Structure formats: C-alpha cells, structure tokens
Amino acid sequence: MFGRKKNIPEIDKEQLELIKTAQKRIKQKKRLYAHFVVFLIGAVFLIVINKVLKIGESFTIFEVDWFVYAILLWLFFFVYHVFNVFITHKFMGKAWETEQLNKLVAKQQEGIEKLKKELPSKTQAETETFENSHLEEKKKSELTIIVAAAENDAIGKHNKLIWHISDDLKRFKNLTSGHHIIMGRKTFESFPKPLPNRTHVVISRNSNYQVPDGVAVVHSLEEAIQFCANDPQPYIIGGGEIYKQAMLVADTIELTRVHHTFEADTFFPEIDPAIWKKTHDVFHPKSDKNDFDFSFLTYKRI
C-alpha cells in the first residue's frame, strides 16, 4: 500500500492525438468497406427481385428498368461516402483544421494588438474625463471667505471686532449655520463660547491646543480644508492671518464692506480685480441697529 510507485510509461498528448485520429480513420474506412459490400449485395438483390422474381417487371422509366435507377441512386450515395472518407479528409482533414485554427488565432492576435495600441489613448481620455469630473466634484465644495472689512481693509483691533452692525451678524449667522467654519486660533479665542449649529475648525501650530468638545483642532489651512471635505460650502471666518492664506485657494468672498475708516491692528488683504470678479453689490444705509453704512458684496474667483 505504501510501497514504491510503479513506473507507468506515459504517452504524450501528441501521440495520443495521433492514435485517436488513426482509430477514427480505421473506423471510417471499415464503414466504407461495409457500405461497398452492402451496396454490391443490395444491387444484386434488386436485380434478382426484378429479373428473377419478376417484381415490378413492367415498371420502367424512359424504357429503363426501375432497379437501374435504384442502383444508380445507391451508387451516388456510395460515391458521396467515398468522397467524404478520402477527398474531404484529404483537403479538410486535421491539417486543414489546424490551418483554419491558426488563421483564427492570428486574426484574434491582430485584434488584441490593435486594442493594446488603442488602450493608452483610451485610458488617457478616460483619466482626463475622470479628472475633470473629479475636479468638478471638488468644485462642488465651494470654499468661501466671509469677512467684514472697513474702507481701509481694517477688520479688528486687540483681538476684537471694531464696529457693531447687527444685520452683518445676522447675515453671518444665516450663511454659516449648518456648515464648517474654519478660523485661526486667535479668532476662536475672541469668541466668548463656540457659535451654535456650526462645526468649528481651529487652526493652530500648537499640537497641545485644548478646545471644548465638538471643536476640531488642525495644524494647517490645508488640513482644515481636508477636514471639511464633506461640506459643500465650508466658510473661512478669519482672522487676518488665515484670510491671507485662504485668498490663494478660496472660490468666493462674501464681504461686508463697512463704509468707514478705522484704526486697527488686523487687516483684510487687498482684493485683486484681476483675480476676483464682483457678482453681487447691495448697499445698506446706517440705521438704529447698524452704526455705519455698509454693502454686502460677493466676489467670485475668475
């Protein structure tokens, strides 16, 4: 049971194929031979029926006995058989099949080569389409700067706002509610407490900067933007340092221009008309709730 394995001689695939073909040919030839014998006996039998047994002796076609037609018809089938075994086999045998197969394989190979050549350009086109759609997808997330700045671009002094414009605070609340608000550490510290219904993302270089629950700390503007990836419109809410960096990447600026000049220590960067196009401009005069004239302006990156 666990003795040495017997060495059984193995026939390779090609040899096996040859044997199978030879066996097939022998069978074909045997069948043809049997057909020939049956045909001879059959022909004699038909002649005997007609001439000896006188069956259908009076039946002729064009004055020729019917058994002649029967033998000729049988002869036709026999010749067809011979043709199949010798002629068809010779011209459409194994070699012919192989040749056809090779032709088919060559054709397919040609098709594959053609596809391979087309593939890089196709892949490139597909990549470009993907990148464009990806960019569009990215663009769907509109990074918006929101700021209130005086005529001299002043935005704050001693880490505080300089004016009180109630309608501006309302607008700020309306626009930013439900969104991420990105801010510098100093601006965050200027709030008495986090603003309700907004996700605060505070930028600080301090890796141990402590914040209340629900407030996120990141260490660069890039990281802040990544953090807001699922928000279709995150807002950059200041202060001066963060605005300066965000001007390079933002899509929109929502500016409340306060029509007055103030002394300040923090300023908003200049809005370059070559980069930014004003798309919205609504003037509001000063009132009981608003200490100064102001305008709501929207700028879009060109």
Out of 156, 181, 247, 294, point to the residue binding ligand NAP (CB under 6 A).
Answer: 156
Out of 43, 144, 240, 257, point to the residue binding ligand NAP (CB under 6 A).
Answer: 240
Out of 237, 246, 250, 297, point to the residue binding ligand NAP (CB under 6 A).
Answer: 237
Q: Among residues 241 and 291, whose Cβ is nearest to ligand NAP? A: 241
Q: How far is the CB of 187 from ligand NAP (least distance, A)?
A: 3
Binding span for ligand NAP by CB under 6 A among 66-74, 156-164, 276-284, 287-295: 156-164
Q: Among residues 69 and 296, whose Cβ is nearest to ligand NAP? A: 296
Does residue 5 belong to the site contacting ligand NAP (CB under 6 A)?
Answer: no
Residues 180-219 that bind ligand NAP (CB under 6 A): 183-187, 190, 203-206, 209, 219
Q: Among residues 47 and 161, whose Cβ is nearest to ligand NAP? A: 161
Residues in contact with ligand NAP, counted by CB under 6 A, come to a total of 29
Spatial separation of the C-alpha atoms in residues 171 and 296, rounded to whole Å: 9
Q: Among residues 43 and 145, whose Cβ is nearest to ligand NAP? A: 145
Q: Among residues 43 and 218, whose Cβ is nearest to ligand NAP? A: 218
Out of 142, 167, 241, 293, point to the residue binding ligand NAP (CB under 6 A).
Answer: 241
Residues contributing to the site for ligand NAP (CB under 6 A):
147-148, 155-156, 159-161, 183-187, 190, 203-206, 209, 219-221, 237-242, 245, 266
